[in-house]
A and B are shown apart, each in its own frame.
Chain A
Amino acid sequence: MEQEVWSFSDYLLLIVSGVLVNNILLIRFLGNCPFLGVSKRMDTAVGMTFGVIFVLTCVGPITWFVEHYLLVPFDIVYLETLAFILTIAVFVQLVEFVIKKMSPALYRGLGIYLPLITTNCCILGTCFYNIRFKFGFIPTIIFSFASALGFGLALIIMAGIRERFHYARIPKCFQDTSIGLITAGLIGLSFYAFAGLAK
């Protein structure tokens, strides 16, 4: 809402911002639980990525509606957290019902990630950023999608690295989560090089 008219290059910059500059996992460091939890194997990482892309792209605009047509008019913005968590949880549950009925194959592939997504702070975090950055409706959709894409990018990079850990001789005190956190920090540092490309 800050900017009245958005040009095409503005949208492109917004995507760069969501994927790289404000990467939800590596720069904002939100959603560390799935970042370490499902990055052990590439296939689970890819499944989680698609789940997050789908849910976040839908939930971002929905929470935007809740904020601007419900919370702001009634002057109860301080209940944002509660309202957003409620919305996200209900939406994910609904999607689970629908997928289970419509496509059992997709449910088997994506189903186990959906409950994980419900309580995922990168979903909630992105919804908050949409509000904090004072985005309009279209930018909200784009930023939510880009943010989920950034989540997927970071998760898949991490999964690729962690699959190789399997064959590396890592000292016992660094094994598993420790080396995972060290790696996350190092990738995060390298992502700071994108700062300045976009806002």
Chain B
Amino acid sequence: MEVLKATIYPVIVMGGLAALFALGLGIAARVFYVYVDPRIGQIEELLGGANCGGCGYAGCSDCAEAIVAGKAPVNACILAPMENIKKIAEIMGVTVEEEEEKKVARIMCRGTPEKAKRRFQYMGIDDCRAAALVAGGDKDCEYGCLGYGTCVKSCPFGAMSMGRDGLPRVDEEKCVGCGTCVRVCPRGVPHLLPVSQKVYVPCNSHDAGKIVKAICEVGCQGCGICRKNCPEKAIIIDKFLSIVDPKKCIGPDASCGGKCMDKCPTGAIQRVVA
């Protein structure tokens, strides 16, 4: 009898407890059922899944909800390949336009410690955002890269590294153009440029030519020589800074022979080196 008790009681009690709980949960699941649009889950699976924030939403599930609600376009995710975008469009019952060209981050500054002067020695927290708060940053140029690597640390894809010259490097292969670096940089030094653009002006300074000349050896002074020499009229000057129009520029090896780069007095206009 004792043996029977010792074997049957646990089975009855635990089994009963489990059955009771299962019944309770089953009823609760019915009573508190919430309808969730199944498309949200399907779309989330097709998105990049990196939660990088490149779409402008808090994460992939947030983005999927926005797509279903019609607040975000079906190609909002910059990470998802074209086939996934097409599948999302199918789920949503719309058509997509052709693929936009991939963009990658380019560092718009060449002011290494030797070439661009510094006003004082900064010895604080190892972060550009902190450095930028101390009297506007230690660099003389108020547009240039501070070099404390906030962008490198924040890149969700490990596409950035700090070069030996104290400026960040972008790995074109790994960069997906999410723009996290652009958002964290206190100076907006990284820019997103089309991957096919081969000529660019790696300078961010809108200071007048005289000031740039005094504080940086390699900055764009906005003299306009490159604009005069470009047969395609692909260069515009915006507040003392040359900007290459990727739609018009035909590349450094084309018939123009890359005159803009040869004629630049400071070498501020450059061929993209990956």
Contact = CB atoms under 8 A, between A and B. Distances in A.
Interface string B194-238: 000000000000000000000000000000000000000000000
Interface in A154-199: 167, 169
B127 interface: yes
Contact of A76 (B10, B28, B33, B126): B10
B126 A94 contact: no
Nearest to B28: A97
B34 A82 contact: no
A75 B17 contact: no
B126 A97 contact: no
Contacts of A70: 13, 17
A98 interface: yes
A83 interface: yes
Contacts of A74: 9-10, 13
Q: How large is the interface on A (under 10, 10 to 19, 20 to 34, 35 or more residues)?
A: 20 to 34
Given A74-B9, A100-B34, A94 B25 contact: yes
B111 to A, nearest CB: 24
Interface residues of B, number: 20
A86 B28 contact: no
Contacts of B31: 101
Interface in A19-38: none
Interface string B113-139: 000000000000111001000000000
Nearest to B11: A76
A5 interface: no
Contact of A167 (B29, B34, B126): B126
10 contacts: A79-B10, A82-B14, A83-B14, A86-B21, A90-B21, A97-B32, A100-B34, A101-B31, A101-B33, A101-B34
The 8 closest A-B pairs by CB, nearest first: A101-B32, A97-B32, A167-B125, A90-B21, A76-B10, A74-B9, A97-B28, A74-B13
